[in-house]
C-alpha cells in the first residue's frame, strides 16, 4: 500500500491524489483530470507521486468510463514518457510498474479503433507509443498534415529539416530569413521497406481511417537526401538518434499539443 502522506507532488502533499480518483464523476471529470495533470505531470516534469499514481490510473484504464479511460491512458503515457527520458532518476519506479505499463499499452492499442473519429485520437496513439517506449514518436508524431522534424545528417552532420504535409514532402536547410532552401524530395518507403514500427503504425492508421497520417508515414519512414552532401539517409533512425542525443523532438513552433481533458 502506498503511504501518500510521505509523498509530495507539484502542489504540495500527495494525500489528495487518491481522494481525487475516488471522487471522479462525470460532473467533475474535466476539473479532476486537469488537477491530476497539474499535480503529477507539469512542464515536462514528473515526481515520485506520479509513479505512485500508476496503479490508480491502471484501475481507471481497466474499469472506468470511456472518457476517463482516455484521460487515464493519456496521463499514464505522459508520466512514463517523462520517466523514461530521465531513466537514471526513475528507472526503479518504471521497473516496479512494468506490468501495469505494458498492460496500459495494450489497452491503448485496443482502444484506438473505437476513437478513430475523436479529436484526441493522435494523443491516445502517442500515449500508446510512450507506454511502449517509442519516445521520439510519442513526443513528435501528429496527424502529418503539417509536420517539420529536425535531424542531423548521419554522413556530414548537417542540420536538415524534414517536411511532410501541406508544405511538401522534402528535406531542406532551414534559413532564418529565407525559410527552407535547397529542397530535395523525400523518397517514401514502399510497403515492404517499412520498419516493423512504421508498418504497424501504417496498418493502424489505415484501419482507423486516419488519411493524413497514413499518407505521411511512408515519408517519415522513408529516405531523405542531405542538401549539403547529397547523400541519402533513412529518416526515422536519424530522427530517433537526434531526439536521444538532443532531447528536442520538434522544430520550434511545431510541438504537438497533448489532449488534457475529456470530451
Q: What average pLDDT does this structure show over 50-56?
A: 96
Q: What average pLDDT does this structure show over 44-69?
A: 92
Q: What average pLDDT does this structure show over 82-108?
A: 86
Look at residue 140 in the predicted model and tell me its pLDDT.
83
Burial class (CB in 10 A: 0-12, 13-18, 19+), 199: middle
Look at residue 87 in the predicted model and tell me its pLDDT.
64
**Is 121's pLDDT higher than 80?**
yes
Q: Which position has the higher pLDDT, 162 or 191? A: 162
Q: Which position has the higher pLDDT, 253 or 154? A: 154
Look at residue 261 in the predicted model and tell me its pLDDT.
42
Most confident option among 34-48, 125-139, 185-199: 185-199
Look at residue 52 in the predicted model and tell me its pLDDT.
95
Q: Could you tell me if 129 and 138 are in contact, meaning their C-beta atoms sit under 8 angstroms apart?
A: yes
**Is 248's pLDDT higher than 70?**
no
Q: What is the mean pLDDT of the chain?
A: 88
pLDDT digits (tens, 9 = 90+) for 102-114: 999 999 888 888 7
**Is 258's pLDDT higher than 80?**
no
Look at residue 169 in the predicted model and tell me its pLDDT.
97
Q: Which long-range contacts (CB under 8 A, 24 or more apart) does 227-230 make?
A: 227/158, 227/160, 227/171, 227/172, 227/173, 227/181, 227/182, 227/183, 227/184, 228/153, 228/156, 228/158, 228/173, 228/182, 229/153, 229/155, 229/156, 229/158
Lowest pLDDT segment from 57-66, 77-86, 176-185: 77-86
Look at residue 247 in the predicted model and tell me its pLDDT.
60
| Alpha carbon distance 208, 114 (integer Å) | 9
Q: What average pLDDT does this structure show over 145-174?
A: 95
pLDDT digits (tens, 9 = 90+) for 192-202: 999 999 999 99
**Torsional class of 209: left (φ above 0), alpha (ψ -120 to 50), beta (otherwise):** left
pLDDT band at 249 (very low <50, low <70, confident <90, very high): low
Q: Percent of the chain having pLDDT more than 90?
A: 65
Q: Which position has the higher pLDDT, 132 or 255? A: 132
Q: Percent of the chain having pLDDT more than 70?
A: 92
| Residues 6+ away with beta carbon under 8 Å from 73 | 57, 61, 104, 107, 108, 111, 124, 127, 128, 131
Amino acid at each position: 500500500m502506498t503511504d501518500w502522506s510521505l509523498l509530495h507532488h507539484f502542489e504540495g502533499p500527495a494525500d489528495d491524489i487518491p481522494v481525487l480518483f475516488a471522487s471522479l464523476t462525470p460532473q467533475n471529470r474535466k476539473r479532476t483530470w486537469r488537477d491530476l495533470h497539474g499535480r503529477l505531470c507539469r512542464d515536462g516534469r514528473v515526481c515520485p507521486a506520479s509513479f505512485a499514481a500508476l496503479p490508480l490510473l491502471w484501475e481507471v484504464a481497466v474499469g472506468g468510463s470511456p472518457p476517463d479511460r482516455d484521460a487515464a491512458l493519456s496521463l499514464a503515457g505522459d508520466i512514463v514518457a517523462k520517466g523514461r527520458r530521465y531513466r537514471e532518476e526513475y528507472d526503479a519506479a518504471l521497473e516496479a510498474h512494468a506490468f501495469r505499463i505494458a498492460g496500459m499499452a495494450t489497452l491503448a492499442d485496443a482502444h484506438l479503433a473505437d476513437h478513430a473519429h475523436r479529436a484526441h485520437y493522435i494523443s491516445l496513439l502517442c500515449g500508446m507509443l510512450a507506454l511502449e517506449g517509442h519516445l521520439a514518436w510519442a513526443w513528435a508524431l501528429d496527424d502529418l498534415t503539417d509536420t517539420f522534424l529536425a535531424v542531423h545528417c548521419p554522413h556530414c552532420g548537417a542540420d536538415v529539416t524534414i517536411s511532410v504535409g501541406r508544405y511538401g514532402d522534402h528535406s531542406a536547410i532551414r534559413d532564418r530569413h529565407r525559410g527552407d532552401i535547397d529542397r530535395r524530395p523525400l523518397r517514401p518507403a514502399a510497403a515492404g521497406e517499412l520498419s516493423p514500427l512504421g508498418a504497424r503504425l501504417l496498418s493502424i492508421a489505415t484501419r482507423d481511417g486516419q488519411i493524413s497520417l497514413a499518407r505521411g508515414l511512408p515519408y517519415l519512414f522513408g529516405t531523405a537526401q542531405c542538401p549539403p552532401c547529397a547523400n541519402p539517409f533513412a529518416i526515422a533512425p536519424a530522427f530517433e538518434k537526434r531526439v536521444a542525443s538532443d532531447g528536442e523532438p520538434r522544430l520550434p513552433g511545431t510541438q504537438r499539443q497533448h489532449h488534457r481533458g475529456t470530451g
